[in-house]
Structure 1
């Protein structure tokens, strides 16, 4: 078995936890490595590997907050990820640091028995012509180049080819259940339990619009943008791409899903930390 460990960038505590986990895995006789940034933080630059090597590993360990988990997910392909929570909320990182070694070693033992309990969380992509976005675990946003008075986009939304809404707004957000607690929540969208198979369609500060809508997990959401100033498509708050308008952006579920190992997070406990 091969284990890759990534710590939150700039966090001495996260790097120290990653180092201790590496030592624990070495003691089991399994192969293990840390990413280059973490290795540099530990003054071991020669021992680090690129994060995209996670896709060839059997288990990825994310040490940090949900942002670190998502960073690992963008590089892990379909490799299962276990999250060690050094953040404030922890919807994705279920394991507290004091239980990190126990949890990672339990996953190694389960792997050896072919008995890992891996859960899948959907990811989304946006497409426009020949262009395809980076997969998103939280949300895809179609927006204007800026927000506020005089900004935004003129748009029309279709769900599986049928018009749902349209008009003028700062943008349109399509979120997974995982992402319902992120940007979607700040835009007054609904919370979606992770066991629910659905996507949220949320118009952002619409002049006239419909309430946020939960559609089927396999629905196809098309956002047609007519604004002359172009459209910006953003995946998980980063990887922004500006597209010429008029244009149609299609958002749908993609593969592989994000694969999560280890004990599940308590959704309602995590919600309490948001208040």
Structure 2
């Protein structure tokens, strides 16, 4: 069978702290997917860190930038956290991504491992739904200089310290003062991130087609401080006014320590992530599955 994708990169979930059994299971899953891709006529490479941490030496390896420059498809075997990490890195290259989940169905890794062959055989022939997700860029400004910057697919979060009290944050949108908020923190989330930390803090769900962000306070001191939906063309600035040991996190995967007077500026990235889903995929099907909607309800 001729695949639409000739060179496919496999990216796995790897943790040096994972147990022997977990690593062996992940390695076996990657091997199974690699053999299937070969049978479908694809050339397969492994992302270099995946191969090193899994001890896999049977396939050629490429760095993430090399994957971006050379590969037609990235195939992630893991969970949403793995997909978040690789999605940010490959967004600038426009490489499409497919997610195979070994555990519970993910929001963005939505093919169950037990059913990957049936799904992939169709998708490799071009039978898929393409889904573009926006990214945001965050930077920490200190005394007029950028001291940290990162991209985020889910959210940018300003948090209080683990053992400290509330932080006070001055919030501006497009240069207009919004409010000084005393809270445990503040979340700026994309539609993709609206189902993550923002949801658990009381924020609304945003459909991925909406060009917006949601700004959600975390445990605000004043209960009238509510989530608000903003255009993703907005320039958001969050200044740390008071509070100890505050930090800014990006997709909960990279962290910057903050000082009083630091400004966290959030703007829309020029790049987006390309996800491929099986034909017939629906965002609402994923929500029902993950959020356990309709449980105990008999459909007619």
TM-score tier (shorter): 0.7 to 0.9
Distance (Å, rounded) in 2 between the aligned partners of 1:24 and 1:40: 21
Which range moved further: 12-21 or 162-171? 12-21
Contact 2:186/2:215, CA 8 A, preserved across alignment: yes
Match for 2:56 among 44, 47, 54? 44
1:136 partnered with 2:148: no
Q: CA deviation at 1:48?
A: 5.6
1:253 partnered with 2:265: no
Distance (Å, rounded) in 2 between the aligned partners of 1:274 and 1:123: 24
Distance (Å, rounded) in 2 between the aligned partners of 1:258 and 1:85: 18
1:6 partnered with 2:4: no
Q: CA deviation at 1:191?
A: 1.7
RMSD: 2.6
1:240: which partner in 2?
A: 255
1:166: which partner in 2?
A: 180
| Runs of 4+ with >6 A deviation | none
Which range moved further: 188-197 or 40-49? 40-49
1:211: which partner in 2?
A: 226
Contact 1:12/1:41, CA 8 A, preserved across alignment: no
1:273: which partner in 2?
A: 290
- Local SS of the residue matching 1:157: strand
Deviations 1:20-77 (A, max 9, x none): 2212222344321123454457653363635514322211011122122212213323
- Local SS of the residue matching 2:150: coil
Distance (Å, rounded) in 2 between the aligned partners of 1:262 and 1:194: 14
- Local SS of the residue matching 1:75: helix
Aligned residues: 269
Which range moved further: 26-35 or 240-249? 26-35
1:63 partnered with 2:77: yes
Which range moved further: 242-251 or 197-206? 242-251
User: Aligned pair in 2 of structure 1 residues 271, 164: CA closer, same or farther (>3 Å)?
Assistant: farther
Distance (Å, rounded) in 2 between the aligned partners of 1:245 and 1:138: 25
Contact 1:176/1:200, CA 8 A, preserved across alignment: yes
2:42: which partner in 1?
A: 30
Q: CA deviation at 1:142?
A: 1.4
Unmatched tracts of structure 2, length 5 or more: 1-5, 15-21, 293-300
User: Aligned pair in 2 of structure 1 residues 121, 132: CA closer, same or farther (>3 Å)?
Assistant: farther
1:18: which partner in 2?
A: 30
2:101: which partner in 1?
A: 85
Contact 1:34/1:48, CA 8 A, preserved across alignment: yes
Deviations 1:143-186 (A, max 9, x none): 23336xx5232111122222222231111110011111111112
Unmatched tracts of structure 1, length 5 or more: none
Q: CA deviation at 1:210?
A: 1.7
Please give the TM-score of this superposition, normalised by the length of structure 2.
0.79
Please give the TM-score of this superposition, normalised by the length of structure 1.
0.86
1:156 partnered with 2:170: yes
- Local SS of the residue matching 1:193: coil
Contact 1:82/1:104, CA 8 A, preserved across alignment: no
Q: CA deviation at 1:272?
A: 4.1
